[in-house]
Amino acid sequence: MKKIIIVLAAILLCFFSYSQEKRLALVIGNGNYTNSILSNPENDANALEKSLKALGFNVVKYENLTQKRLTQAIDDFGNKLKNYDVGLFFYAGHGIQSKGFNYLIPVDAVLKTEADVEYNCVRADRIFGKMEEAQNDINIIILDACRDNPFERSWSRAATGKGLTFMDAPRGSIIAYATAPGKTASDGYAENSPYTSALITCMEIPNIKIEDFFKKVRSLVREQTKDQQTPWESTSLEGDFYFYHDENYVLKETERNDVKQTVDNSDNENKRTAAPEIKSLAILPFANYSGDETQNYLALGMQDALISEIGQLGSIRVISKTSTLSYAGTQKTIQEIAYELNVDAVMEASMITIQDNIRLHLKLYNAYPEEKQIWSQTFDSDISNIFNLYNEVIKTVASEIQITLSPDQQSQLSKIRQVNPEAYKAYLKGKSHLFSLTRESMEAALDYFQNAAEIDPEYAPAYAGMAGVWGVLKQMDYVSPDVANPKMKEYMSKALELDSHNADVYFYDALVKVWTDFDWEGAEKSFKNCLEINPNYSEAWAYYSHFLMCLKRPDEMRETMKRARELDPHNIIIQILEGVELMVESKYDLSINKMSQLQMIMPNNPLLMVILLQCYAETGKHDLAINELKKILNQVTDETVLKTLDKEYSKLGFKKALNATADVLVESSGFVSAQHVATIYGYAGNVDKMLDWLEKMYIRGDPDLPYIGVLPFFRQYHDEPRYIEIVQRMKLPLGELE
């Protein structure tokens, strides 16, 4: 998040120079519920603790409190508060209303009926009473506790209402809710909930009274949730309160921005003002003003290419295309987009094409402290010189945002790079089909890449694209490794021969080395080469994280996946890959929550089915596991197998049904995935047959072999000699993921 106002250390210094009021905060994050894990309350509590400490609060923080500990924490806080001027209570987690009262739900609560609420939860007005007893000047109660509640879903509709109910603020207090009374709030998909994220952002803004502070929070949350969530407050404050007060703020901002006169050069439509330091950038989807919708693929491809080219600067974080696509034609302001994507600056682009000629108009905006255009320029080129156009854009942007190019970068940008227009257009059409992962889309992409290579046999990305498509077809079990592997090796060899300084080529080469060649040393070298060329390659970071997971390097795995999420927060593929890592770390409920939400968007994605099957099986949710297995089998086999699964599960239960189903599956006609069969026999507890099929996976060179050391269903077989032998043959580490 942009720290344009001032760094936390400076906030702390300015705060203490201004005020000596004593501030105490109790911060609680409850997320580890037995029947519904919430992703963010613990993150919310940790993040808010840091912000409040920087603002002069003495902070007491707890996570995942039982009823007894939650009650005691509130009582202790009330006793301490008598010695302070300002009290703040923050709670993130499940909350509920019952019989006109609001309750905070401890992590050990068992709520089979509404009658259990009174005896198993903690009434929210307990904190009000303790604050009133303290008789201090200012009390702030913040409840990020209106998340949709799993407990009340089994109660009668008439007995409950969603969210929390209205509460009057005690004298000298303000109560702030994540959403309006009776409504539910989002737990969010990022590191923090939308509400807590907005709180932290607004706490960095100097000199706003607390009432105006919560207005800004409300505005940010509404925009971030597309009006699905509207925070709300109740207040009886009589005095003024500022989270952060800086008497010199106006003077500092004037000095820092020092805006120069705008220069207007009508020859190239160029407008400039001095730009502050920019460390992160989002390039919005290109507006296609050609009047020809068939050119939309070109607009998407050029946006993707420009993101990649600017990303190679390395000293600036550039958001990936998949996370910016939702802003095509948006009415949101630059500042709103920058906030949602966590960037300093935003670039808008429009494109006009006439045959093979392109006119590209770019505008660069700084988002903070206010929206301001700092550069605008038009570029003209034909498609054969498109990469030279990108070079000119990169050099100009680097100059505008004060990035010093290294000698190597200057050398690369000075090279003349030409491309066959028809080959380039075919390649972009191929890339436009890569995102859905269906067999039809993969085959369409393959056709376009082959066309590009036929037009220009020297065009390396086309060969890398073909290798990548065959890798996906194999990974998704659309074709056997015997068919895919020779083609992947042929095309990757050709791509590397033609271009040894291309991030895409190294990325696809790394994928082949991990999931086909099982060449760990070579794979890591290719990943590092790719990320050295383009440090902003989000999917390379994500797949590198999976590689590190398979090699049982968990700290590096987590840090690498974090980098991928920062670069591409809305990329569904990256979210699925993260779901696998959560599963491997035995965070099953969290993985289930995230993957179930994604499955609503991509109901036919087989990777989601496989993840959910294992998570449900590991947590004993056999009905749900069987349902996911049926979805998988429906895509790869005939009705005989499905009927066997249904019949045997109803008669014999989970393990015996799986064993019978696997027996029928292996006898069915057509290609059978060894990994699917090994998984089914594994959960059936059939040791010998599972190990037989694991050996077949090894003989076939199955792309899932790198995961055999970390997938949950293999854990019960870690001491089996045949399993150990295959892991050692694969040169994978034994033991658990620590």
Bridge partners, residue 90, by sequence: 27, 142
For residue 591, pLDDT over 60 is answered with: yes
Measured CA to CA, the distance from residue 108 to residue 269 in angstroms comes to 64
Residue 157 pLDDT class (50, 70, 90 cuts): very low
Q: What is the mean pLDDT of residues 235-244?
A: 86
Query: What are residue 6's DSSP bridge partners?
Result: none
181 pLDDT above the threshold of 70:
no
For residues 284 and 333, what is the distance between their CA atoms, to the nearest angstrom?
A: 12
- What are phi and psi for residue 147, nearest 5 degrees? -65, 145
Q: pLDDT tens, 22-68?
A: 999 999 999 888 767 787 899 899 999 999 998 999 999 999 999 99
Question: What do you get for the CA distance between the two ends of the chain, in Å?
Answer: 31
Tens digits of residue pLDDT in 390-414: 778 778 777 777 777 777 767 776 7
pLDDT at 611: 93
pLDDT of amino acid 68:
94
Strand, coil or helix: 274: coil
Is residue 670 very low, low, confident or very high in pLDDT (cuts 50, 70, 90)?
low
**pLDDT category, 184, cuts 50, 70, 90?**
low
Distance CA 97, CA 124 (A): 10
- Of 150-154, 271-275, 475-479, give the lowest mean pLDDT range: 271-275
Q: What is the pLDDT of residue 247?
A: 62
Helices 538-550 and 503-512: crossing angle in degrees, nearest 10, is 20
Lowest mean pLDDT among 266-275, 279-288, 505-514: 266-275
Task: Tell me the per-residue pLDDT of 306-348, one tens digit each, with 9 for 90 and over.
Answer: 888 788 777 788 888 888 887 887 778 888 888 888 888 898 8
Q: Do domains 8-235 and 259-418 have the same CATH topology?
A: yes
Name the residue among 689, 696, 636 with its Cα closest to residue 659.
689
Q: Which of 306, 289, 429 is closest to 353 using CA atoms?
A: 289
Q: Which segments within 30-135 are labelled E, that is strand?
A: 57-63, 86-92, 95-98, 101-104, 122-123
Residue 180 has pLDDT above 80, yes or no: no
Residue 358, pLDDT > 90, answer no
- Confidence check: pLDDT of 453 > 70: yes
309-343 burial: b if 16+ Cβ within 10 Å, else e: bbbbbbebbbbbbbbbbebeeeeeebbbbbbbbbb
At residue 558, the pLDDT reads 94
Query: Could you report the per-residue pLDDT of 83-105, keeping only the tens digit for each?
Result: 999 999 999 998 888 877 889 99
CATH number of the 259-418 domain: 3.40.50.10070
> How is the chain split into domains, by residue range?
8-235, 259-418
> 8-235: which CATH architecture?
3-Layer(aba) Sandwich (3.40)
Q: Compute the mean pLDDT over every residue in the chain, rounded to the nearest whole number.
A: 81
Q: What is the pLDDT of residue 260?
A: 27
pLDDT tens for each residue of 617-638: 999 999 999 999 999 888 877 7
In this prediction, residue 481 has a pLDDT band, given cuts at 50, 70 and 90, of confident
Q: Is the pLDDT of residue 473 over 60?
A: yes
Q: Calculate mean pLDDT across residues 650-674.
A: 85
